[in-house]
Amino acid sequence: MILKVYTSLLLLFLVNSVWTRTVRQVYDDLDPGHWSHYTSECPQECFCPPSFPNALYCDNKGLKEIPPIPARIWYLYLQNNQIETISEKPFANATHLRWINLNKNKITNSGIENGVLSKLKRLLYLFLEDNELEEVPAPLPVGLEQLRLARNKISKIPEGVFSHLENLTMLDLHQNSLLDSALQSDTFQGLNNLMQLNIAKNSLKKMPLSIPANTLQLFLDNNSIEVIPENYFTAIPKVTFLRLNYNKLSDDGIPPNGFNVSSILDLQLSHNQLTKIPPINAHLEHLHLDHNKIKSVNGTQMCPVSIALEEDYGYYGNVPRLRYLRLDGNEIQPPIPLDVMICFRLLQAVVI
């Protein structure tokens, strides 16, 4: 499952990069006289690459409105313009759209015509980062797989906006204006296949309620969270990557064994107010505790299994899997105690 997440994200990056390079090559190398077959119905302001007839590039054109989209288009690039509205008319024939990038425009909620997005039945990826939205737009296409709304002004999530998005795997809301009151117990209801939830850089003071059970990656950096509720992670038993950097967590705000969760492989607690290392699970592989107030490291106390028992089992027993430990920016003086190395035999890097 984790490999699948990495592969999907990497594939998206590579596909976009390859298209960009190939499009430029086509633009430079082909005889313009050969373009006519490929550019029929292509908006004058945009570029329709002959080798990718399903893609339409209208980015960085100074556009103030969306041009008419040809019926054959699957991938639409409109980023870095001055677009303020999304109306139904330009999409009248665009019934096959899979991907829309509208990042870095001037779109507001009032500028989105009612129902226009939900009518894009085949849309899988919707990017609306760096706009002027004040709430999550609704209604949305039911088949959506990725929704990226980072760096807007979102302070409100309409009730039921995600209730029918069963295929959504990534929801990015980082760097908005969300308060705890915006995240109700049913806010994420319906997101049964969500794998990545990013609510970093908002104004949360509490851990969000009712995170979807299948969530693998939960990013909550740069908030003001002080407390982890008892048994919080029981409701998200698959969480693997947890980021809580730049919050206000103290020792008193973490319950006993709060992070002793077998599913968590990467735990990031940098830039908090911890004075000691919280109990961890033997499955944990990466631990970031830099820039806290930790004064010392006791390997015997930190070790998630008995060191004596570990020696009995040997290398093939229940050896803790920690490979990376970051402790710089604390009050710890080197060297690292020997019992830390005895416990965590798989450690490849310690930063202190």
> How confident is the chain (352 residues) per 10-residue block, as mean pLDDT?
47 45 40 50 92 95 96 97 98 96 98 97 98 98 98 97 97 98 96 98 96 98 97 97 98 96 98 97 98 94 78 62 97 90 94 92
Question: Phi-psi category of 58—alpha, beta or left, where left has phi over 0 and alpha has psi -120 to 50?
Answer: alpha
Predicted confidence at residue 96, as pLDDT, reads 96
Could you tell me the maximum CA-CA distance found in the chain, to the nearest angstrom? 78
| Main-chain dihedrals φ then ψ at residue 232, nearest 5 degrees | -60, -40
The CA–CA distances, whole Å, from 250 to 31, 226, 254, 326, 330 equal 65, 7, 7, 18, 14
The CA–CA distances, whole Å, from 294 to 244, 277, 336 equal 17, 7, 13
Residues with Cβ within 8 Å of residue 138, at least 6 apart in sequence: 158, 161
**Pair 55, 49: CB distance under 8 Å:** yes
**Pair 64, 83: CB distance under 8 Å:** yes
Q: What is the DSSP letter of 86?
A: B
Of the candidates 131, 178, 170, the one whose C-alpha atom is nearest the C-alpha of residue 5 is 170
Residue 197, strand partner residues: 171, 218
Predicted confidence at residue 40, as pLDDT, reads 66
Residues with Cβ within 8 Å of residue 241, at least 6 apart in sequence: 216, 217, 218, 219, 264, 265, 266
Predicted confidence at residue 336, as pLDDT, reads 87
